Amino acid sequence: MLAKWLGGVLLIGLLVYAGWNIYSVQTSPKEGTEEGMKAPDFTLDTLAGKSSSLSDYKGKKVLLNFWATWCKPCRMEMPDMQELQKEYPDIAVVAVNFTSSEKNIQAVKSFAETYQLTFPILIDKSGINGDFNVLSYPTSYILDEKGTIQHIRVGTMTKKEMKEKLDLK
């Protein structure tokens, strides 16, 4: 009698476990670089020399921007990104610099100083931009609080467009 009871409890437990696994797989977005997918995590050094991961910003809306100092459209949108970060400190503006295309790291530092950028600038020497299929600069990914890609924008965005895509008032 006890063996049947324990067997029944074990069977029910296994069914609940299997059901939960099926449910969580179906409700969790697949990892990738397209809208609706969970953005792949990465870790890079910041311009300040600290290590930063995309997952550090979980729980916040993120404007993930891929850029370079030689990119004229990037220069146009950086002031708007800085204003957005100041106005909405609860969101994260994260700028990934295509560092392997730069003259040197000092060019990136000078750019950040010129534009008085206070948001994290990540140094991409390893090709994260390629992992995100970035073919043109600037390219921005809008992520929700769970790290799911809500929007991809190739080209510049105005502050108004950034606010709209981040669903800010």
Q: What CATH number corresponds to the domain at position 69?
A: 3.40.30.10
Mean of the per-residue pLDDT values of the chain: 90
Q: Residue 29: which pLDDT band, with cuts at 50, 70 and 90? A: confident
The domain of 87 spans 31-165
- Looking at the fold, whether 35 and 14 belong to one and the same domain comes out as no
- Looking at the fold, whether 148 and 116 belong to one and the same domain comes out as yes
- Looking at the fold, whether 17 and 48 belong to one and the same domain comes out as no
- Looking at the fold, whether 36 and 60 belong to one and the same domain comes out as yes
- Evaluate if residue 25 carries a pLDDT over 70: no
Q: How many domains does the chain have?
A: 2
Q: Can you give the pTM of this predicted structure?
A: 0.82
- Looking at the fold, whether 79 and 1 belong to one and the same domain comes out as no
Nearest to 94 by CA among 46, 59, 49, 130: 46
- Looking at the fold, whether 1 and 50 belong to one and the same domain comes out as no
**What is the DSSP code (8-state) at residue 148?**
B
- Evaluate if residue 4 carries a pLDDT over 90: no
- Evaluate if residue 58 carries a pLDDT over 90: yes
* Residue 133 identity: N
- Looking at the fold, whether 25 and 79 belong to one and the same domain comes out as no
- Evaluate if residue 7 carries a pLDDT over 70: no
- Looking at the fold, whether 99 and 133 belong to one and the same domain comes out as yes
pLDDT the model gives residue 11: 62
Task: Identify the weakest region by mean pLDDT among 1-10, 40-49, 74-83, 96-105.
Answer: 1-10
- Looking at the fold, whether 25 and 92 belong to one and the same domain comes out as no
CB-CB contact of 31 with 40 (8 Å): yes
Strand partners, 152: 141
